[in-house]
Structure 1
Amino acid sequence: MAPIELNPEKLIEEVVDYSRKLQAGAERLCATGGGGTGSSPREVVYREDKLTLYRYLPVTTAPATPNPVPLLIVYALVNRPYMADLQADRSTIRNLLESGQPVYLIDWGYPDSVDRYLTLDDYINGYIDRCVDQLRARHEVDQINLLGICQGGAMSLCYTALHQPKIRNLVTMVTPVDFHTPDNMLSAWVQHLDVDLLVDVQGNIPGDFLNWTFLALKPFTLAGQKYVHLVDILEDDAQVETFLRMEQWIFDSPDQAGETFREFIKQFYQQNGLVRGEITLGEQLVKLKDITCPVLNIYGEQDHLVPPAASRALKGLTASKDYSELAFHGGHIGIYVSGKAQALIPSNIGQWLDAR
């Protein structure tokens, strides 16, 4: 192996340039404000407990004749939903509006000690069902379109199975279905979790606990490498603002209602209840075969939280005669915010819904 030649002058030049970027970047970071509510104009149409149901205002670039069927987005409980509307040029919601969809979204808010005993039944057969009824009444339709994201997709599958007459079309995005695929590292960890002891002692599960668990799945990339690469974008105001918005979202993790967390971990992760047909909400058994409406299942090919096989498992589990899949060459977060995703995903969802 040839010896590595070091150029002292070149090294000094790089160190000086690195220091300059750090100093200028620190000033820019301090001067840049974050934004943690989303970018698209919206209005409140319904409130209940911590929940807020938002309607997003139509955009001028939307088709003259919008889809008459409203679209309700059900986001995960473990993160805040503004990732779907991070900023104007990285907004799944804005692009859905531009495709002509009347978009509504459930914001779960921040559970506190009062919510400790809320169950999955309360969330799915309670809150989601009442939001669906709000849209049905508001638009004078019998059925609405439902878009479930991540954990919200699993909840949307359960809801549709139990309330099929109210759902016209179902879209699931980066949604776990088979929780026992060999490449699911998070599931492998959770199998050994004494969730009863955790909830009995802790009550609600702190958002920080879950957040650091997710980061630990890819510690070098998610907790180290990105901050090294930050130096390379510190002189670009737009990229710095995007970075800060994403950082704010990552660490903006709501606490989880204790009983809901207990049920979700045990029934979905540990018992793999969706695949086995063993999910029980209240006294109702969730049967995915009761889903007969068209289904569009979207997944990320590099998703480390919901591996592709965990999502593709949905195929054949419903009774839908109109099942489609859409793969995105990216990961769990990139599917919301990358330029390629924004050019592909929302427009395809819009076309798919309009055709049905």
Structure 2
Amino acid sequence: MDPCEFSRQVANRTARTPRKLGQAPYRTLQLTAAEPGETPYDVIYEESPVRLRRYEPEGEQTRDVPVLIAYAFINDPSILDFSPERTVVGTFLERGFPVYVVDWGDPSPIDRSLTLGDYVTRFLANCVDVVCETHATESVHLLGYSTSAPLAAAYAALFPDRVRTLVLQGPPLDFDTEAGMDLFRALAAEHDPEQVADAFDAVPTPLLEVAFALRKPVEYTVTTPLRLWDQLDDDEFVEEQGRKLEWTMGGPNLPATTYREFVEELLVENRLLENEWRLCGRRVDLSAIEMPVLLVLGEEDKFVPREASVPFLDEIESDDTAIVELPTGHVGLSVAEVAHEQGWPRIADWLEERSS
């Protein structure tokens, strides 16, 4: 950096310090009060621990084929409705799509034996059936988010007639890649899945978050707090950080058996891409996926690099595939301004073209 520019930035930050100190009490309240998830919804189906949220579309026009989002296992789905200006749910509602979100819920100790097969062939299948019955349609636009992407892909392979299109956002699908994936590999390398499953009936989300944080300790403990302090007098930035903080602080636990299977069968053995994954006695045959498929990727995704997603397209039979790649990270795909300016309108267009 040019010395003059550096000196100018130092002087600017120094001048702003008294103002930031004066605003600190108010900003602290703003930070703790900010919450994502403002769009109203109804819970129309429950099967413990799973709940199905329904969001009503805006305007008079309603699309015949609804959007069903299978959210990730950890954290709650509010990231999909981050703020009034940046909401994945809201984008689809504005286009007239009825939107449903699968909230996997918080399992209790009696749920420790739930398997990935239960999540795909029971919970997700039942949610799709409820949505189809509600709208008198045979299929849905299915969106799998992050760690639920393999589940959505498996459902599409097992029940292809129920899926009009398959959208996979930030999807970890090929765990055999050498590019990135360090955060996922840490779950297998540093925490033996058998021991974790034996120790917990429901694996606590904080344990998984700590495992992730330890992979990037400087960012979690130094960089992020410093960035917040540097922009403490920026009202919009503080509001955004508060919403992110609220989202990261909460989240469901994961049934012990589900956790063990996810680590062993997907992370370690890569059964989905090897076409060797079996759920409740049925093989997940990727060649059965012939519906349109769209991958939504982040160019700066440190959790799931491009190489962990794109090979999936080589294993399926669909002749209608596309990739939307945006200059943001894993979480940014849901909350970044660029994602909502350049990405989600294109994704909604893609679904509209395939709704008839």
TM-score norm. by structure 2 comes to 0.91
Q: Which residue of 2 aligns with 1:203?
A: 201
> Unaligned stretches of 5+ in structure 1?
none
Contact 1:173 1:298 in 2 (8 A): yes
Mapped partners of 2:278, 2:117: distance in 1: 9
**1:303-329 per-position Cα deviation (integer Å, ceiling 9, x unaligned):** 111111101111211111111111111
Contact 1:301 1:328 in 2 (8 A): yes
Q: Which residue of 2 aligns with 1:241?
A: 239
Matches within 5 A, 1:1-356: 17-18=16-17, 20-31=19-30, 33-36=32-35, 38-60=37-59, 64-183=60-179, 184-192=181-189, 193-356=191-354
Greater displacement, 206-215 / 68-77: 206-215
- Root-mean-square deviation (Å): 2.3
Mapped partners of 2:198, 2:62: distance in 1: 49
Aligned letter for 2:280? G
User: What percent of counterpart residues are identical?
Assistant: 31
**1:50-97 per-position Cα deviation (integer Å, ceiling 9, x unaligned):** 22211112224xxx5332101100001112111010111121111121
Aligned letter for 1:324? A
Mapped partners of 1:175, 1:13: distance in 2: 41
TM-aligned CA distance change 1:12 to 1:236, over 3 Å: closer
Mapped partners of 1:32, 1:13: distance in 2: 24
Secondary structure of the residue aligned to 2:69 is strand
TM-score norm. by structure 1 comes to 0.91
TM-aligned CA distance change 1:191 to 1:116, over 3 Å: closer
> Unaligned stretches of 5+ in structure 2?
none
Mapped partners of 2:10, 2:83: distance in 1: 38
Offset at 1:14?
Answer: 5.8
Mapped partners of 2:135, 2:13: distance in 1: 61
Secondary structure of the residue aligned to 2:33 is coil
Greater displacement, 138-147 / 45-54: 45-54
Contact 2:213 2:220 in 1 (8 A): yes
Secondary structure of the residue aligned to 2:39 is coil
Contact 2:36 2:243 in 1 (8 A): no
TM-aligned CA distance change 1:23 to 1:167, over 3 Å: same
Offset at 1:232?
Answer: 2.8
**1:257-305 per-position Cα deviation (integer Å, ceiling 9, x unaligned):** 1000000110100101111112121111111111111111111111111
Mapped partners of 2:289, 2:35: distance in 1: 35
Secondary structure of the residue aligned to 2:272 is helix
Offset at 1:187?
Answer: 3.6
